[in-house]
């Protein structure tokens, strides 16, 4: 399907086809047009754009194709020490640059975002050792540490997982890198949101009790919006997704797709509890061109993953494989991890996850990536003979 741009007061009627280039205009363009740009969920409003699995931004502001097909890198991990993470991340990025045919280097913005995962708590958060390794490799490529920022939803969980200091007086940094907690609201922009007509859950009278001046109509309208992370959309040359993996009671798998979408925007609990609307919302958000433009890579450690009881951390239901995976395709990574999760579930007598999860099916249908694990073209590191 052709992408559709849905606007308010922008001169283009709802549902009128737009080219992919005009599918999601910049915030400045939106304001100049006097309109707001958003996406609606549902068959009648499905906004679709067929995308390559990765893009990089050149100094001229143009997108440059990167290795995208079904490539999946894996690096053997003798152990998950800081030294081994540094070696693995550097090897993976060097191979990525070789396949891409050009180096990773600072572009127009001169900044990089890292989307960490902390929702399951410190037991299954993105390892700090992995984050340190990525930061150091980006520093080697010309980025200053202060220009490599971390993003996640919850300030409390970021602090609990060691990405923020224990005291607010110590600042909002992780070893010199800024940390953005999206729930503070400081990193959203009113012109950039995903909108769903799900039944609203806001009690506007309760808001008024707390001194918030809001009408019922305004409360209902606001409750249907999920604000997107502005720094990842407009303040970075590119960003890297650093998910962890668990099963999920409603969406099947909690990994690369969810970390980049429902754990990366406001007001998404309504989707996380719905087997019908949750997969469609996550898939549609993953297809937003401005989010996809800079979403270049997904790095997933198999230091531990949870095969049942997620997303709450349950150490008895975790497994480990000595590998670090990387791909530009979040759907393919999720599909491959479903196989790993099912293998562990089957071995322990638990029912396997569905063979075709709606989340992955929808994402493949609208061009976010491949849901076929057999299509993966593996790049295995270190190569034989390299030790």
Q: Classify residue 4: in a domain, yes or no.
A: no
Mean per-residue pLDDT for 190-206? 64
363 or 40: which leads in pLDDT: 363
Q: Classify residue 44: in a domain, yes or no.
A: no
Q: How far apart are CA 156 and CA 184, in angstroms?
A: 11
What is the per-residue pLDDT for 212? 43
Tokens representing 350? 């638990």
Q: Classify residue 37: in a domain, yes or no.
A: no
Q: Classify residue 38: in a domain, yes or no.
A: no
Q: How far apart are CA 333 and CA 327, in angstroms?
A: 7
Confidence of residue 46 (pLDDT cuts 50, 70, 90): very low
Q: pLDDT for 290-333, tens place per residue? A: 999 999 999 999 999 999 999 999 999 999 999 999 999 999 99
In three-state secondary structure terms, 83 is helix
Q: Classify residue 165: in a domain, yes or no.
A: yes
Torsion from C-alpha of 14, 15, 18, 23, nearest 10 degrees: 70
Q: Classify residue 329: in a domain, yes or no.
A: yes
What is the per-residue pLDDT for 108? 96
Q: Which domain holds residue 360?
A: 51-381
Q: How far apart are CA 297 and CA 241, in angstroms?
A: 6
Q: pLDDT for 265-284, tens place per residue? A: 998 888 888 888 899 999 99
68 or 304: which leads in pLDDT: 304
| Residue 51 clears pLDDT 50, i.e. is over it | no
- The total number of structural domains that make up the chain: 1
Tokens representing 335? 């599909």
Tell how strand 55-57 and strand 63-65 pair up.
antiparallel
Q: How far apart are CA 311 and CA 309, in angstroms?
A: 7
Q: Classify residue 78: in a domain, yes or no.
A: yes
What is the per-residue pLDDT for 193? 84
Q: Classify residue 9: in a domain, yes or no.
A: no
Evaluate the CA torsion angle 47, 51, 57, 58 in order and state its sign: negative
DSSP 171: -
Quick one: what percent of the chain has pLDDT higher than 70? 74
């Amino acid at each position: 399907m052709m992408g559709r741009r849905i606007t308010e007061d922008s001169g283009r009627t709802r549902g009128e086809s737009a080219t992919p280039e005009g599918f999601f205009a910049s915030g400045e363009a939106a304001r100049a047009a006097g309109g707001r740009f958003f996406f609606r969920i549902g068959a009648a409003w499905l906004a679709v754009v067929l995308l390559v699995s990765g893009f990089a931004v050149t100094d001229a502001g143009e997108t440059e194709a990167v290795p995208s097909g079904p490539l999946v890198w894996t690096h053997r991990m003798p152990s998950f020490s800081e030294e081994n993470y540094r070696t693995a991340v550097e090897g993976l990025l060097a191979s990525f640059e070789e396949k891409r045919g050009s180096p990773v280097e600072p572009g127009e913005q001169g900044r990089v975002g890292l989307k960490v995962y902390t929702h399951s708590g410190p037991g299954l958060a993105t390892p700090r050792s992995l984050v340190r390794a990525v930061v150091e490799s980006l520093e080697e490529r010309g980025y200053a540490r202060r220009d490599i920022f971390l993003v996640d939803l919850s300030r409390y969980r970021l602090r609990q997982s060691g990405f923020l200091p224990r005291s607010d007086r110590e600042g909002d940094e992780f070893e010199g890198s800024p940390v953005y907690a999206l729930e503070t609201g400081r990193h959203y922009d009113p012109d950039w949101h995903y909108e769903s007509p799900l039944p609203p859950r806001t009690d506007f009278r309760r808001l008024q009790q707390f001194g918030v001046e809001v009408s019922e109509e305004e409360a209902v309208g606001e409750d249907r919006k999920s604000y997107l992370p502005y720094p990842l959309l407009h303040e970075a040359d590119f960003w890297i997704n650093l998910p962890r993996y668990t099963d999920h009671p409603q969406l099947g798998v909690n990994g690369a797709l969810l970390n980049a979408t429902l754990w990366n925007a406001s007001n998404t609990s309504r989707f996380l509890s719905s087997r019908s609307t949750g997969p469609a919302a996550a898939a549609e958000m993953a297809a937003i061109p401005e989010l996809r433009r800079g979403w270049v890579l997904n790095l997933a450690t198999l230091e531990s993953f949870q095969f049942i009881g997620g997303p709450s951390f349950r150490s008895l239901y975790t497994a480990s494989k000595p590998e670090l995976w990387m791909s530009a395709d979040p759907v393919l990574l999720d599909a491959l991890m479903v196989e790993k999760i099912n293998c562990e579930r089957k071995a322990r007598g638990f029912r396997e996850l569905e063979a075709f999860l709606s989340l992955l099916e929808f994402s493949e249908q609208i061009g976010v990536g491949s849901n076929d694990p057999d299509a993966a073209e593996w790049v295995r590191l270190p190569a034989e003979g390299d030790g």
